[in-house]
């Protein structure tokens, strides 16, 4: 039970981070380059290895919002069904 709570909390935390970053990417695209500077350099490099330079596009921001919503809403419900 405690493990399931931990997974649910981690899923929601990651989902909210992706959701927030996606919304910022859609609302203020230029701000995103500043936000992804030094503090998130490791994250930025990791993402660029996977998706290339698409991280600055609106499509990537929409994908972040979609994945964030799925992590916040869908994954915890799937875990509680078990």
pTM for the model: 0.73
| Other beta carbons less than 10 A from residue 13's beta carbon | 12
Q: How far is CA 51 from the centre of its chain?
A: 14
Please list the pLDDT of the chain residue by residue as tens digits (82 residues). 688 888 888 889 989 988 988 888 888 877 666 655 555 667 667 777 877 777 778 888 899 899 999 999 988 888 787 6
Domain range annotation of the chain: 2-81
- Report the C-alpha gap between 50 and 68 in whole angstroms: 18
């Amino acid at each position: 039970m405690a493990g399931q709570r931990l997974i649910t909390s981690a899923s929601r935390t990651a989902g909210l981070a992706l959701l927030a970053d996606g919304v910022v990417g859609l609302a203020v695209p230029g701000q995103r380059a500043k936000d992804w500077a030094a503090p998130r350099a490791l994250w930025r490099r990791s993402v660029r290895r996977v998706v290339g330079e698409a991280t600055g596009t609106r499509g990537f921001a929409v994908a972040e919002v979609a994945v964030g919503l799925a992590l916040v809403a869908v994954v915890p419900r799937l875990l509680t069904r078990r």
